[in-house]
Amino acid sequence: MTKQLGIIGYPLGHTLSPVFQQAALDACGIDARYVAWETPPDRLAERLRELRVPDVLGFNVTVPHKETVIPLLDTISDWAGDLGAVNTVVSRDGRLTGHNTDAEGFLRALKQEGDFNPRGATVLVLGAGGASRAVVLSLAREGAASVTIANRTLARAEALAAEVRARGGQSHAVQLDDAHLTEALRTPPGLIVNCTTLGMAHGPAEGQSPMPTRLIPKSALVYDLVYRPAVTPLLQAAHQAGARVLGGLPMLIYQGAAAFTLWTGREAPVQAMFTAARSALGLAA
C-alpha cells in the first residue's frame, strides 16, 4: 500500500517540500507520495484527526501551525518542547509525535555549506520570530560567545535574549535600524543571520534588505534563511561588502533530510533533494 506524507500549513502555494521530498522518496525506492495539505487554522484539529491513519507516515508543519499544533499531538521531543515549535510529525499506530528539525538544518548548513563553527563566535541575528528562536537557541547550545538579536519590535528581541541568558548564554537585544546596528557592529560579528522575511520573493518586503552594504563587515559570513530568490538583497549587499555568503536553500534541504530520516529510518539522499529543489527554482544543479 502506498504510504502518505505531506506538509500542512496555510497558505502553501510556494512550498518546495513536495518537490524535494518526493525526489528523495523516489531515489530510495520508497512507495510513498508527499503532497501539500493546505490547512486553514480553523481546520487544523480536523486535519490531524484525518492523518491518524496507518498509511500516513508523518508530515511537516509550517506557518501558522508550528506552535498551535502542539496541544493536538500525543507527545513531542525534548528539543521541540524547548523551542516551543514543531515542524515535523511522525505517525505510528495512530500516535503523533512532534519534532523540530529546523535547528539541525540550520546548523548542518552553517557547518557544511558555510564552513563555519559557531563555538566561540560573535553573532548578529536579524529578527526575533519563530525562525530566530530556533537559530538563537541552537547557537547558544553550540557555544557561541555572544548573540545580539536585532528586531523592529525591541520587546520581542529582549524576551528572546533574556531566555538565552537564563540558559547560561550571552545575549542582548537592539532595535533593528541603521543607528542601533551601527552601534552593535562596533565589534564586528563573525556571523550575521537574517531570520526576517525581508527580501523574500512574493512577500510584502520583496526587494528590501534588513541592513545596508556599508554596515556589513567583510570578515563576516552572512547567512540569509530566505531561499527565494537564491540571491537576496541582503546577499547582494554582502557580496558588495566583500563578505562570504550562504543562502537559505541548504537549511531547507537539511531540515527536510532530518525529517525524512525520522519518517523512514533511512539516510536521506540529500543530493537528489538539492537537485530537485534547484531545478524547481530554475537554478543550475
* pLDDT band of 276, cuts 50, 70, 90: very high
Which tens digit of pLDDT belongs to each residue from 218-230? Answer: 999 999 999 999 9
Check residue 65 and give its pLDDT: 95
Mean pLDDT of 142-148: 97
Domain with CATH 3.40.50.720 in the chain: 104-247
Check residue 219 and give its pLDDT: 96
* Identified catalytic residue from 3, 66, 111, 218: 66
Check residue 285 and give its pLDDT: 60
CA–CA gap between residue 40 and residue 9 (Å, rounded): 7
CA–CA gap between residue 190 and residue 66 (Å, rounded): 30
Which tens digit of pLDDT belongs to each residue from 4-61? Answer: 999 999 999 889 999 999 999 999 999 999 999 999 999 999 999 999 999 999 999 9
Which tens digit of pLDDT belongs to each residue from 154-211? Answer: 999 999 999 999 999 999 999 999 999 999 999 999 999 999 999 988 888 888 999 9
Check residue 130 and give its pLDDT: 82
User: For the domain 104-247, what is the CATH superfamily, name and number?
Assistant: NAD(P)-binding Rossmann-like Domain (3.40.50.720)
**C-alpha cell of 49?**
484527526
Query: 3-state SS string over 178-231?
Result: HHHHHHHCCCCCCEEEECCCCCCCCCCCCCCCCCCHHHCCCCCEEEECCCCCCC
Which tens digit of pLDDT belongs to each residue from 83-132? Answer: 999 999 999 988 999 999 999 999 999 999 999 999 999 999 999 988 89
Check residue 14 and give its pLDDT: 83
Check residue 202 and give its pLDDT: 80
Check residue 204 and give its pLDDT: 84
66 noted as active-site residue: yes
Domain with CATH 3.40.50.10860 in the chain: 3-100+252-280
CA–CA gap between residue 97 and residue 73 (Å, rounded): 6
40, 46, 6: which is closest to 22 by C-alpha? 6
User: For the domain 3-100+252-280, what is the CATH code?
Assistant: 3.40.50.10860
Mean pLDDT of 239-249: 97
The H or E element containing residue 124 is: strand 122-126
The H or E element containing residue 111 is: none
